[in-house]
Chain A
């Protein structure tokens, strides 16, 4: 299974994301922001970093990159897309996910290992977890405070679209402790902490991040084989 990893000017974690795909057992395909061709990938990861130097707002310029125009259309058609940190910001700016990521409430950059509680396994990226499972992966952001209006927050909760909550401390003031959300179809997921930094014992606090990538591979195998889809389709 081929999972594309996009590099924007200012992306930082594209290398780690590609590595995580490989460790999970997939083929990582590097995609370039200026190239609208997705080169036949089965899923896409938008990595962390500071695309276009965070000019204007985080993710605001990246949204208009040629590759994003293709990804937005493909995501609406069901292509699995995972946005991590800056990638989450890009997905919100592109209106593939609701809400926005704003300046951390305490104004400090937060960089630490963070406990999360998994909210739903019914997405293309979380089927290998169990609901309510606690995981530990790094978080590192300055603008990770998720905000949305009350109606949107209520809808996310009611529809089971909160993919993960911060637990044992909220690092940025995110409303209702939201760390990750999904779209209505469950194929697009945005997450503020970094699963791609928790895939090897040598460098990560756990191997918990691997589950996001193995879930996608399982989802794709199921889609290709017409079985084993798990809870990945909603």
Chain B
């Protein structure tokens, strides 16, 4: 079994006040060489059978991301547990 991972990020031109708040907190950790932090969202979709990229893309396009302000990328991720069981 495999899962489809969707990463949703605000478009570069959209201000990310949460990311800015995190970046502004970094000096308190003693970190001073970070120029920018942007926060996105990772969504894991488990299909009952084979991963269906076309369906995942439709889900991402219609629901997971708002195309007005966000971009998304999709990939299939092999699960570590499965890999171990295959090698065993």
Contact = CB atoms under 8 A, between A and B. Distances in A.
Interface in B57-87: 63-64, 66, 68-69
Contact of A105 (B13, B17, B63, B69): B17
A151 to B, nearest CB: 12
B71 to A, nearest CB: 13
B14 A147 contact: yes
B17 A148 contact: no
Chain B interface main SS type = loop
Contact of B63 (A60, A99, A106, A173): A60
Interface of A: 56-57, 60, 64, 92-93, 98-100, 102-107, 147-149, 173
B11 to A, nearest CB: 9
| Size class of the contact patch on chain B | 10 to 19
Contact of A102 (B13, B14, B21, B64): B14
Contact of A107 (B13, B18, B63): B18
A170 to B, nearest CB: 14
B15 interface: yes
A104 B17 CA distance: 8
Contacts of A60: 63, 66
A64 B15 CA distance: 27
A57 B14 CA distance: 15
B68 A106 contact: no
Nearest to A63: B63
Given A56-B64, A60-B63, A64-B63, A147 B69 contact: yes
